[in-house]
């Protein structure tokens, strides 16, 4: 991959693949990334038996290279058709999806889920980037996070709907995403111009059903009798308001990522590494009384934690978010104490320990 721009200074070139490294550390930087993008790329490339490196010239641009090793498939690897009489769910035709999401780990998680379904995904970090990409590329659908820096999802949607630009379809389908789902949210988001709404963490069945509702032309309609019954009776252990809140719900996580153990072991490793830095940012926002920043941090943290099925942590983050909305400093501090206890529990385990008790047949 090659780009043109500010480039990377030689003294930083060997450090850019480290977790949390950011080339711009000034207080006036425009973007809120956590510095995990290249570290995540490095881990994924290494999983595929390859390597990654970069060449760069300051004020000219950078070129990134990677290698990977893949096996050659055979007919035995092809999944057989379902037996006659079994109902197949609705499926979505491959779409060009613009994913508006500011958290790097969430970007990676959602991109992987969507690409597993055959979609092409382009990521925007905020509403301004959404508008810029719409003017340059063609998309079928936007998945729009509600809370983002610089320009949030609601403001971006209004800009799109009121646009006079001829470069894109201002009626493009937009599905809102939020980690904080409360009664009345759907109505507010639809009133702002969005077509649909799903809650985080992303659920493929919910996404398919929402797309079927707002854009039936995107959907392959197959027999789906019993789908709702199946949906209603499946394990709901990923809900953060129900039952016991484990540090990590491994069974739910494995189900969410289709048994791709190598992938979600890496995701969990990154989540564990990132946890202390997120805590530091939350504590700093509380110390200076920045409730707006605190709400964004907690909202993002909740989404990531719920996606990796860290339910106890997601619940704490949600309550911090609620306290921030109400300018409740003491309430936020109380929940941070709970979050710190959860952090202690996370520190006491390793990713490998989480999978050591899994039956061999359930692992990929």
* Predicted confidence (pLDDT) per residue in 112-162, tens digit: 778 877 889 999 999 999 999 999 999 999 999 988 888 999 999 999 999
Across the range 298-304, mean pLDDT stands at 83
**Could you count the other beta carbons within 10 Å of the beta carbon of residue 189?**
23
Residue 34's closest CA among 306, 301, 356? 301
Could you tell me where in the chain the CATH 1.20.120.160 domains are found? Answer: 250-357
Nearest 5°: the CA angle 351, 266, 252 is 65
Question: CATH 3.40.50.2300 residue ranges in the chain?
Answer: 88-221
pLDDT at 98: 95
Q: Where are the alpha helices (DSSP H) in the chain?
A: 37-47, 104-116, 127-134, 153-161, 185-191, 204-214, 227-233, 250-256, 261-288, 291-307, 311-325, 329-347, 351-356
pLDDT reading at 303 higher than 70: yes
pLDDT at 223 over 50: no
Task: Report how far Cα 43 is from the mean position of its chain's Cα atoms.
Answer: 17
* Model pLDDT, residue 103: 82
pLDDT band per the 50, 70, 90 thresholds, residue 30? very low
CATH for 2-66, among 3.30.565.10, 3.40.50.2300, 3.40.640.10, 3.40.50.1100?
3.30.565.10
- Domain boundaries for CATH 3.30.565.10 within the chain: 2-66
Q: Does domain 250-357 have CATH number 1.20.120.160?
A: yes
Q: In this structure, which topology does domain 88-221 adopt according to CATH?
A: Rossmann fold (3.40.50)
pLDDT-based confidence at 229, cuts 50/70/90? Answer: very low
Sign of CA dihedral 92, 96, 101, 102: positive
Whole-prediction pTM: 0.59
Highest mean pLDDT among 18-27, 40-49, 237-246, 327-336: 327-336
pLDDT score of 57: 87
């Amino acid at each position: 991959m090659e780009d043109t721009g500010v480039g990377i200074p030689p003294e930083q070139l060997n450090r850019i693949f480290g977790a949390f490294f950011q080339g711009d550390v000034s207080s006036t930087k425009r973007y809120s990334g956590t510095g995990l993008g290249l570290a995540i790329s490095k881990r994924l490339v290494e999983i595929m038996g390859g390597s990654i490196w970069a060449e760069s010239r300051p004020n000219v641009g950078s070129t990134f290279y990677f290698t990977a090793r893949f096996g050659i498939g055979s007919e035995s690897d092809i999944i057989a058709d379902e037996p006659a009489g079994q109902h197949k769910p609705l499926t979505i035709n491959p779409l060009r999806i613009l994913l508006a999401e500011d958290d790097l780990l969430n970007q990676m998680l959602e991109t992987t889920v969507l690409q597993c379904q055959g979609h092409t995904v382009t990521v925007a970090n905020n509403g301004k980037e959404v508008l810029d990409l719409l003017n340059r590329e063609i998309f079928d659908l936007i998945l729009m996070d509600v809370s983002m820096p610089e320009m949030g999802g609601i403001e971006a949607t209004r800009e799109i709907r009121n646009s006079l630009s001829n470069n894109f379809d201002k009626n493009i389908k937009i599905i809102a995403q939020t980690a904080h789902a409360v009664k009345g949210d759907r109505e507010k988001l639809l009133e702002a111009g969005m077509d649909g709404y799903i809650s985080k963490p992303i659920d493929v069945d919910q996404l398919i059903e929402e797309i079927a509702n707002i854009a039936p032309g995107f959907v392959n309609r197959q027999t789906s009798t019993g789908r709702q019954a199946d949906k209603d009776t499946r394990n709901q252990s990923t809900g953060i308001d129900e039952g016991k809140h484990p540090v990590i719900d491994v069974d739910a996580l494995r189900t969410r990522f289709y048994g791709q153990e190598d992938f979600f072991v890496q995701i969990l490793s990154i989540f564990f590494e990132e946890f202390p830095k997120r805590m530091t940012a939350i504590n700093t926002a509380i110390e200076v009384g920045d409730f707006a920043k605190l709400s964004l941090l907690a909202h993002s943290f909740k989404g990531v934690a719920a996606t990796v099925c860290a339910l106890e942590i997601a619940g704490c983050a949600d309550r911090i978010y609620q306290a921030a909305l109400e300018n409740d400093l003491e309430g936020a501090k109380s929940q941070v104490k709970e979050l710190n206890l959860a952090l202690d529990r996370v520190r006491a385990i390793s990713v490998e320990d989480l999978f050591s008790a899994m039956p061999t047949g359930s692992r990929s």
